[in-house]
Structure 1
Amino acid sequence: MKKLLGIGFWELIARIILRNRTALLIGIFLITALLATQWKDLKFTHTEANLIPADDKVNVDYQKFLGRFGEEGNLIIIATKDKKIFTPKVYQAWSDLMNTIKSSKEVSLVLSVNNLQKLTRNDSLSTFEFKPLVDQSKVQDEHYLKQIQSELFTKLPFYEGLLFNKKSGAIRSAVYLDKKIVNTKKRKEYILNQLIPAITKFEKDSGIVLHTSGMPYIRTLNAKTIVDEIALFIGAALLITSLIFFYFFRSFRATLISLVVVIIGVMWSFGILATLGFEITVLTALVPTLVIVIGIPNCIFFINKYHQEYHKHANKAKALQRVITKTGTATLLTNITTAVGFATFIATNNVLLREFGIVTTINILAIYLLSLLLIPIFFSYIPSPIPRHLGHLKRESITKFLKWIVNTVKHKRVGVYFTAVCLLVFGVIGIGKIKVSGSIIEDMPKNTTFYKDIRFFEKEFDGVMPLEIMIDTKKKNGALKLSNLRKMEELSQTITDIPELSKPLSIVNVAKSFNQAYYNGNPDFYALPSPQEELFLLPYIKNSLKNAKDNQLKSYITSDGSVARMTTFIKDENGEKMEAIEAHIRNKVNKLFPSPRYEVIITGKASVFQKGTKYLLDNLLSSLFFAFFLTGGLVVIMFRSFKMVLVAIIPNLLPLLMTAGLMGFLGIPLKPSTLLVFGIAFGMSVDDTLRFLAQYRLELSRNDWRIKKSVFATFDDAGISMFYTSIILFFGFSVFMLSSFGGTIALGGLVALTLFFGMLSNLVLLPSLVLTLNKTLANQQELPEPTIDFLEHSDEDIDELEMKNK
Structure 2
Amino acid sequence: MSNPKHDKGEHYLTSPKAEPFLERLIFNNRAVILVAFFILTLFLGYNAVKIQPDASFERMIPLEHPYIVNMLDHREDIENLGNFVRIAVEAKEGDIFSKEYMATLEKITDEVFYLDGVDRSGLKSLWTPNVRWVEVTERGFQGGTVIPDGYDGSRDSLEQLRQNILRSSEVGRLVADNFESTIIYAPLYEKNPETGEPLDYSNLSQALETKIRQKFEDQNPNIDIHIVGFAKKVGDLIEGIASIAWFAGITIVLTTILLFWYSRCIAGTLVPVLSSIIAVFWQLGILRLLGYGMDPYSVLVPFLVFAIGISHGVQVVNAMAIEAAKGFDPLTAARLAFRALYIPGILALISDAFGFLTLLFIEIDVIRDLAVAAGIGVAVIIVTNLVLHPLIMSYIGITKGGVKHVQNHGEKQDRKWRVMSYFSHPGVAPVSLLIALMGLGLGIYYKQDLKVGDLDQGAPELRADSRYNLDNKFIIDNYSTSADILVVMVATPEEECTRYPVLRAMDTLQWELANTPGVQSTASLADVSKTVAKALSEGNWKWYELPRNQTIINATIREAPPGLINTDCSLTPLLVFLEDHKAETLRTVTDRVETYIAENSNDQHTFKLAAGNAGVEAATNEVISKAKNMMLVFVYAVVSVLCFLTFRSIRAVACVVIPLVLTSILAEAIMAVMGIGIKVATLPVIALGVGIGVDYGIYIYSKLERYLLEGKPLQEAYFETLRSTGKAVMFTGVTLGIGVVTWIFSPIKFQADMGLLLFFMFLWNMVGSIWLLPALARFLLRPDRMVAKAREAESKR
Match of 2:477 in 1: 459
Q: Which residue of 2 aligns with 1:145?
A: 158
TM-aligned CA deviation for residue 526 of structure 1 = 13
Aligned partner of 2:429 in structure 1 is 413
Aligned to 2:606: 599
Segment of structure 1 superposing worse, 298-307 or 143-152: 143-152
Kept in 2, the 8 Å contact 1:458–1:571? The answer is no
CA contact (8 A) 2:504 2:546 kept: no
- 2:56 is aligned to 46
Equivalent residue, structure 1, for 2:352? 338
| Preserved contact between residue 430 and residue 663 of structure 1 (Cα < 8 Å) | no
Query: What per-residue deviation string (whole Å, max 9, x for no partner) do you get for residues 724-747 of structure 1?
Result: 111111221223323233332222
Distance 1:478 1:511 in 2: 15
Query: Is this contact kept in 2: 1:115–1:134, CA < 8 A?
Result: no
Counterparts in 2 of 1:571 and 1:456: CA distance versus 1, 3 Å: farther
The Cα of 1:241 is off from its aligned counterpart by 2.0
Paired AA for residue 82 in structure 2: G
Tell me the distance in 1 between the aligned counterparts of 2:793 and 2:150. 87
Indicate the SS of the match to 1:52. Answer: coil
Q: Deviations over 1:203-244 (max 9, x none)?
A: 12222212111233333333443x424434433332332232
Aligned 1:727-742 pairs, distance under 5 A: 727-742=734-749
Q: Which amino acid aligns with 2:229?
A: G
- Name the residue aligned to 1:669: 677
Equivalent of 1:212, from 224, 227, 230? 227
Pair 1:290-2:304 in alignment: yes
Distance change in 2, residues 1:630/1:481 (3 Å): closer
Partner of residue 369, structure 2: 355
Please give the alpha-carbon distance, in whole angstroms, between the structure 1 residues aligned to 2:692 and 2:189.
Answer: 46
| Match in the other structure for 2:667 | 659
Kept after mapping to 2: 8 A contact 1:10/1:328:
no
User: How far apart in 2 are the matches of 1:121 and 1:150?
Assistant: 11
Establish whether residue 373 from structure 1 lines up as the match of residue 382 from structure 2: no
Partner of 1:161, secondary structure, is coil
Larger displacement relative to structure 2 (720-729 or 186-195)? 186-195
1:121–1:518 CA contact under 8 A, matched in 2: no
Counterpart code for 2:440: L
State the alpha-carbon separation in 1 of the partners of residues 473 and 793 from structure 2.
Answer: 59
Deviation at residue 294 of structure 1 after TM alignment: 0.5
Distance 1:585 1:71, change over 3 A: closer
Cα separation, 2, equivalents of 1:785 and 1:346:
42
The question of whether the paired residues in 1 share the 8 Å contact of 2:267 and 2:399 is answered with no
Alignment partner, residue 570 of structure 1:
578
Aligned to 2:9: none
Aligned with 2:171 (options 150, 160, 163): 160
**Matched AA of 1:45:** A
Q: Distance in 2 between matches of 1:514 and 1:434?
A: 47
1: CA distance between counterparts of 2:553 and 2:340? 89
Per the TM alignment, residue 21 of structure 1 is displaced from its structure 2 partner at its CA by: 3.1
Aligned twin of 1:433: 449
Distance 1:114 1:24, change over 3 A: same
Displacement of 1:666: 3.7
Aligned to 1:30: 39
1:750 and 2:757 matched: yes
* Alpha-carbon distance in structure 2 between the residues aligned to 1:570 and 1:777: 66
Match of 2:440 in 1: 424
**Secondary structure of 2:123 counterpart:** strand
1 CA distance for matches of 2:531 and 2:209? Answer: 31
Moved more, 728-737 or 28-37: 28-37
Please list the CA deviations of residues 291-327 of structure 1 after superposition, one character each: whole Å capped at 9, or x if unmatched.
1010001111101111111011152232122212232
Identity %: 19
Tell me if 1:468 matches 2:487: yes
Helix, strand or coil at the partner of 2:70: helix
Matched residue SS, 1:668: coil
Residues 180-329 of structure 1: pairs in structure 2 closer than 5 A = 180-181=191-192, 184-186=198-200, 188-193=202-207, 196-207=210-221, 208-225=223-240, 227-329=241-343
Deviation of 1:634 after TM superposition, in Å, equals: 2.5
Mapped partners of 1:132, 1:202: distance in 2: 23
Structure 2 vs 1, CA of residues 36 and 115 (structure 1 numbering), >3 Å: closer, same or farther? Answer: same
Q: Deviations over 1:638-664 (max 9, x none)?
A: 332222222222222222222223333
- CA shift for structure 1 position 669: 2.7
Aligned equivalents of 1:347 and 1:93: distance in 2? 50
8 Å contact 2:228–2:472 — kept in the other structure?
A: yes
Q: In structure 1, what is the Cα distance between the partners aligned to 2:726 and 2:218?
A: 61
Contact 1:705 1:780 in 2 (8 A): no
The alpha carbon displacement at 1:121 in A equals 8.8
Distance 1:742 1:524, change over 3 A: farther
Aligned equivalents of 1:24, 1:781: Cα separation in 2: 42
- The alpha-carbon distance between structure 1 residues 587 and 366, as it changes in their structure 2 partners (threshold 3 A), is closer
Q: What letter matches 1:47 in structure 2?
A: F
What's the CA shift string for 1:395-415, capped at 9, x where partnerless?
Answer: 788656534422344352232
Distance 1:167 1:732 in 2: 49
The aligned amino acid for 1:467 is L
Counterpart AA for 1:734? V
Describe the SS at the equivalent of 2:57.
Answer: coil
Find the aligned partners of 2:503 and 2:422 in 1 and give their Cα distance. 78
Partner of residue 642 from structure 1, selected from 650, 653, 657: 650
1:391-438 per-residue CA deviation (whole Å, 9 max, x = no partner) reads: 256278865653442234435223212211211211121222322225
How many residues matched? Answer: 763
Contact 1:261/1:371 (CA < 8 Å) preserved in 2? yes
TM-score normalised according to structure 2 size: 0.86
Pair 1:339–1:540, CA change in 2 (3 A) = closer
Change (3 A) 1:348 1:92: closer
Shift, 1:142, TM fit: 4.4
Aligned to 1:802: none
Aligned to 2:489, the other structure's residue is in SS state strand
Q: Determine if contact 2:530/2:544 at 8 Å carries over to the other structure.
A: yes
The amino acid that maps onto 1:732 is: G
Give the structure 2 partner of residue 693 of structure 1: 701
Looking at structure 2, the residues matched to 390 and 89 of structure 1 have their Cα atoms a distance apart, in angstroms, of 78
Counterpart of 2:620 (choices 594, 612, 618) is 612
Instruction: Report if the CA contact (8 A) 1:119-1:517 is conserved.
Output: no
Give the Å deviation of 1:52: 3.4
Structure 1 pair 484–97 and aligned structure 2 pair: CA distance change class (3 A):
same
For structure 1, which runs of at least 5 residues remain unmatched after alignment?
A: 1-5, 546-552, 788-806
TM-score of the superposition, structure 1-length normalised? 0.85
- 1: distance between equivalents of 2:644 and 2:722? 23
How far the C-alpha of 1:28 sits from its partner, in A, is 1.4
Using the TM superposition, give the Cα deviation of residue 482 of structure 1 relative to its aligned residue in structure 2, in angstroms. 5.0
Counterpart Cα distance in 1 of 2:650 and 2:598: 54
Range 257-266 or range 613-622, more displaced? 613-622
